[in-house]
Structure 1
Amino acid sequence: MNDYQEDSFLPVQRILFALSKARNLLTGDMHVALAGTGVSGAHIGALLLLSLGIACTSVALSKLLGVDAGFVTRMIDRLETQGLVRRDRTNPDRRVVNLSLTDAGRNVAERIAEIVPTVLNRRLSGFTPLEFAALCSLLAKLLEE
C-alpha cells in the first residue's frame, strides 16, 4: 500500500493524527480515573505487566511497551521511589536487574485492573462487538513487525 504521498498528505485526515488523538483522549481519561492512586497513565502498562509476570526486567518492559530504555529507567526510578517497584540483582549475571512489585505496587496494580476496564468500556461504548473485534484485529496488524 502506498496511500501516502508528500504532495497529498493532510495530517488531520490521516492515520497518525487519528492514532495520536485517540491515544491522547485515552490518556486523559486514564489520568482522571487514576487520580488518587499516585500513578499516571504512563505507569499502567509497566505495573500490569509486572503484576501478571509477563515482564520482569527493564529490557522486557521496553520491548513490550514500545518505548526506549531511558524512558523505562526513569519510570522505574519513579515507581521505586514511590515504593511500588523493587529492583533485585539475584540473577547470576549481575548486569540483569529483575523487577518486582512491592505489596503496595500489587495493591495499585489491582486498583488499575479495576479502573482501566471502566474507562475503556466508556470510551468504546459506541462500538458494536464486530467493530471492536475489527479494531483489535487492525491494530494488531498495524503493530506487526
Structure 2
Amino acid sequence: MDHYTSEGFDPTQSVGFAINKARNVLIAEMDDALKDLDITSQQMGILLSMHRELAATPFELSKLLGIDTGLMTRMLDKLERKGLLERSRSLEDRRVVNLKLTKEGVAIAARLPAIVPVVLNARLKKFTKTEFEELRRLLYKFLGE
C-alpha cells in the first residue's frame, strides 16, 4: 500500500520529515545535557555500546548504531584524542581493530545512565505508558526490526 503519491506531496507532512525533525530536537537536547562531559550524543552512543559490551570493533559499532564507517572512524579518532578509548590490532587478524574504553572512558560511560533518561523522559512526558510503548513499537516496525 502506498501512503504517498507525487500529486500534492508535502514534504513537511511526511513521516521522514517528522522523524528527522524529532531526531534533530533530541540530538540538540542530548548534546546540551552532555556538554559538561565534553561528549556529543553520537559519542555517547559509542561509549554506552562499548561499556555495555554490545560492540568492540568499529565495524560492530557502525552496524549497531547505523553510522557509516567513515564517520565512525572520525568519531573514534575524536574519542581517542580525548583519552576515552584505545585501539589495538587483533592478534588473530591484523585487519580487525579492537576498541577498549580507557579508565576515563569507563567513568564517563558510567555517568550516562543518570543523564540520558532525564533527557528522554522530558521529551516523552506528555506520553502515556501505552502511547510510549506504541511509539517504540512503531519505530522498530518502521526500521524493519
TM-score (norm 2): 0.96
1:95-123 Cα distance to aligned partner (Å, 9 max, x none): 10001110100111112221000000111
Number of the residue aligned with 2:118: 118
Residue 133 of structure 1 aligns with which residue? 133
Secondary structure of the corresponding residue to residue 87 of structure 1: strand
Q: CA deviation at 1:37?
A: 0.4
Instruction: Return 5+ residue gaps in structure 1 as ranges.
Output: none
Aligned to 1:33: 33
The 5-angstrom pairing of residues 62-141 of structure 1 reads 62-141=62-141
Letter aligned with residue 12 of structure 2? V
Residues 1:61 and 2:54 aligned together: no
Sequence identity, in percent? 47
Which residue identity is paired with 1:102? T
2: CA distance, partners of 1:82 / 1:74: 13
**Over residues 37-69 of structure 1, what are the superposed CA-to-partner deviations in whole Å (9 max), with x where a residue is unaligned?**
010112111111000000000001111111110
Runs of 4+ in 1 over 6 A off after TM superposition: none
1:9 alignment counterpart: 9
* Structural RMSD (CA): 1.0
1:94 aligns to what SS in structure 2? coil
2:99 match: secondary structure: strand
- The worse-fitting range, judged by mean Cα deviation, of 82-91 and 47-56 is 82-91
Distance 1:139 1:10 in 2: 21
Q: 2:27 is paired with a residue of what secondary structure?
A: helix
Aligned-partner SS, 1:8 = coil
Say how many residue pairs are matched.
Answer: 145
**CA shift in 2, pair 1:114/1:91, >3 Å:** farther
The whole-number CA distance in structure 2 between the counterparts of 1:77 and 1:47 is 13
Give the CA deviation at 1:31: 1.3
Unmatched segments (≥5 aa) in structure 2 = none
